[in-house]
Structure 1
Amino acid sequence: MNNHKYQIRAFAVLVAAVAAFSVAACSHETEKQSSEERGFVSYDEINAEYKDSVAQLDWPESYTPPADLEGEDTKLTFQSGFGDTRASILFECAWEREWLNTYATAPDQAAAAIEQLSKVPNMGYMSPQRADDATRRVFNDYLDRAKLGDPSGFQENIDINCRSN
């Protein structure tokens, strides 16, 4: 009997949690949100966010980022910050490739890549609101390895997380 009451209470808590998240997910945001309160926006809005982020970042001479957010269904809604995150990931991948292509042959270019990659831990997509501790720790480990001339971390990230563009 006691077990049955526990199951009913657990089910009620689960239903209440699902209902609360459902209402929050479907709500319409009208005010500009802080980084902790991200709403959902249209493709056009997220693409504008992406373009703004791309314009604010420095890119390797050997790489040109896509003019628009690629590979997304334009009929969907997106969480605010997604465009910035996608631009930031492209930035990270582009500079990791730049370092991998130059660390053994062009020390000045490799140093410039490390300088750019040293900005990553302070970028929005690596903030505690948008990335977990493990992600930040792994990136910092890869960066530390690269500073010592070890390409394994950046190569692993390229192989796993970066598109072939």
Structure 2
Amino acid sequence: MTTGIALFDTALGTCAIAWRAAGIVGVQLPEGSPESTRQRLEHCFPDAVEHQPPAPIQRAIDGIREHLGGALDDLRWIDLDFEGIPEFDCHVYDITRAIDPGTTLTYGDIAAELGKPGAAQAVGQALGRNPLPVVIPCHRVLAAGGQVGGFSAGGGTLTKRELLALEHTPGFDDPVLF
């Protein structure tokens, strides 16, 4: 099945999206340039062909664009295609997708919810492979003690902090006096 890709502009910069008939398979946050963004997504989906997104994908693009512009949306309405993704990762992504904007869980919280309390590191590794950042909001998952942890998207933890601030997540948004 052919994978389509398209680039689109957001408040954070040029993003990219990949899809198949069943739904979105990849989202790429901005890299240093639109071409770098395209190349990183094409590396993940080497069979991809760039073309005009169909209506459901355009709605997803619009939703992502609006979310990154500050009109917060949980984006759970976007259809995803998990074909080829390991079962453990899918379970991690399902739990992560349920985290509301402005709130966070830890890697350990997700491991506990999976019934595998010692699997925090495996959860972090699964999130490091997340092909759908923002739609599967891995930026909302922190290390123990509220530490930022890692972030594999372009810009690393700076981008993670920016996304958390955008969502007015306590401790990452505007400073408070009390």
TM superposition score normalised by structure 2: 0.32
Relative to its length, the structure with more strand (as a share) is 2
TM-score (norm. length: structure 1): 0.34
Highest CA radius of gyration, 1 or 2?
1
